[in-house]
A and B are shown apart, each in its own frame.
Chain A
Amino acid sequence: MYKFKSGKRLSSLTVVVMSGLVTSLCLPVLAQDTTRPDFSGAWSTFRNTDGRASAMPVGELKLTPQATRARADYLSVTEGTDISHGNSCVGYGMPASMLGSGGYPMEIIQRDDQLFVIYEAYNEIRRIYLGEEAGDPGNFFPERNGYSTAHWEGDRLIVDTTRLKTQVDSRYPHSNQATIREVYYLDEPLDDGTRVLAAELTMTDPLWLEAPYVNVKRWQEMSDYHVMTYECTEPLWYDEMTALYEEAGLEMIQE
């Protein structure tokens, strides 16, 4: 028999039942935590062991007539020129930031309530919110990388992205009605134990896509690799400032 301070007594059977209840409630939580992988690290496009980068996944993009016209308009004014979002230091935006990012590596910093995905190119950062950190997407302004929330299903991270801006300048053009689901998981490691990260992507767009766009991207961990900062906008500012000084007949002192 067990006795509380109040003097009430509990039978052994009650204690056993309560212990079982607590255990049954806690174990799944504990087990869930231990199955969640840590994606933190520097990742480069999958190359296997031969050093060759796997081709950038393209897949089949079935654009609606509306999207085809919008894309054609964009190309008609930019093809053959030096004008591009990249040359204006504007990042790729989803899904191009995740699928390609110009071949540059990415870094993931994983916390319980948030994942930071830092694509080296253009210093693009995606914040993927989990649990209570995940807000109502409707409260956030649209961005090229959208607003991403996530949850775990076993050892897989399910990421849903909404609040995307319309992008005619992407090789994966989409309207602002597009939504993207990514499923991240650790794939079979290489023979030398190098970790492989995979993500299955599905983009749905009722306005610009005839059918969901599906693709799979793989990365491998680069233990001797470092994601670097990517300064891009400063030269644009430098040029602008230089022009101002020259117009004013002043000598600019900045290096």
Chain B
Amino acid sequence: MKLLINILGIGLCSAFFSAVANAHHSAVQFDFRNTVLVEGKVIEARFVNPHMHLVLQVTDEKGTREIQFEGHSRNNMARQGLRPDLFAVGDNITIRIAPMHNGEDGGYVTAVRGPDGTEVGNVSGAD
């Protein structure tokens, strides 16, 4: 399990979507100035509005555990190219998140790379 942390400037997309996140509820717990890539096995995925909900089984230096993530709305993800068959429960995927400010597990999903390499949003670079 790899956990990569890339410090990135505030890109246009993240700024926009952080505004969207703020529109629904406070997103102060998420650090939109940073980007973290997380790989894991899909335990649960709900692409819904106003925010997606994702549970991944992640293994890293802290061990193996299930981590819950929040993310963009289904509509925003769909605009970035999300299709219902991008991945399924049990698949290994990579997500790009804005991590928690307090360093705890979790974060705000802004992009996803499916098991076949298809990316929704820009997983590995700035938006």
Stretch from A49-57, A178-186, A196-204 at the B interface = A49-57
| A152 at the B interface (CB under 8 A) | no
11 A-B residue pairs with Cβ-Cβ distance under 8 Å, sorted by A, are A51-B12, A53-B16, A81-B25, A84-B24, A84-B25, A100-B23, A102-B19, A103-B19, A103-B20, A104-B20, A228-B79
Contact segment of A16-24, A156-164, A230-238, A243-251: A230-238
CB distance from A89 to the nearest CB of B (A): 7
- For the complex, what is the distance from the CA of A82 to the CA of B26, rounded to whole Å? 7
Is the pair A79, B20 in contact by a Cβ cutoff of 8 Å?
Answer: no
Cβ of A120 under 8 Å from chain B: yes
- What chain B residues lie within 8 Å of A101 (beta carbons)? 23
- The yes or no answer to B49 lying at the interface (CB within 8 A) is yes
In the assembly, what is the distance between CA of A120 and CA of B78, in Å? 13
Complex contact B16–A80 (CB within 8 A): no
Contact (Cβ within 8 A) A231 B48: yes
Q: Chain B interface mostly helix, strand, loop or mixed?
A: helix
Known: A81-B25, A92-B23. 10 other contacts (CB 8 A): A56-B19, A80-B26, A82-B25, A86-B25, A87-B25, A89-B50, A103-B16, A104-B20, A228-B78, A232-B48
A86 touches B50 (CB 8 A): yes
Do A52 and B24 touch across chains, with their CB atoms under 8 A apart? Answer: no
The answer for the CA separation of A83 and B24 in the assembled complex, in Å, is 9
Contact with B along A31-75 (1 / 0, CB 8 A): 000000000000000000001110010000000000000000000
Docked pose: A51 CA to B24 CA in angstroms: 23
Contact (Cβ within 8 A) B78 A102: no
Size category, B interface: 10 to 19
Say yes or no: B78 contacts A86, CB within 8 Å: no
Contact with B along A79-121 (1 / 0, CB 8 A): 1111110110100100000001111100000000000000011
| In the assembled complex, B34 has its CB within 8 A of some CB on chain A | no
Residues of B within 8 A of A (CB): 12, 16, 19-20, 23-26, 46, 48-51, 73-75, 78-79
A13 to B86, CA, bound (A): 79
Binding site for B on A (CB under 8 A): 51-53, 56, 79-84, 86-87, 89, 92, 100-104, 120-122, 228, 230-232, 234-235
- What's the least CB distance linking A238 to chain B, in Å? 9
Residues of chain B lying within 8 A (CB to CB) of residue A87: 24-25, 50-51
Residue from B16, B46, B50 with most neighbouring chain A CB atoms (10 Å)? B50
5 A-B pairs with least C-beta separation: A86-B24, A102-B23, A84-B25, A232-B49, A235-B48
If the complex has contacts A235-B46, A235-B48, are A230 and B75 also in contact, measured as CB distance less than 8 A? yes
The interface residues of chain A lying within 8 Å CB-to-CB of B49 are: 89, 122, 230-232
Partner of A231, one of B23, B24, B25, B74: B74
Which residues of A sit under 8 angstroms from B78, Cβ to Cβ?
228
In the bound complex, do residue B26 and residue A102 qualify as a contact, i.e. CB atoms below 8 Å apart?
Answer: no
Task: Tell me the complex Cα distance, A80–B90, Å.
Answer: 33
Chain B residues contacting A51 (CB-CB under 8 Å) are 12
- How many angstroms from the CA of A230 to the CA of B48 in the assembled complex? 9
A80, A102, A228: which contacts B20 (Cβ < 8 A)? A102
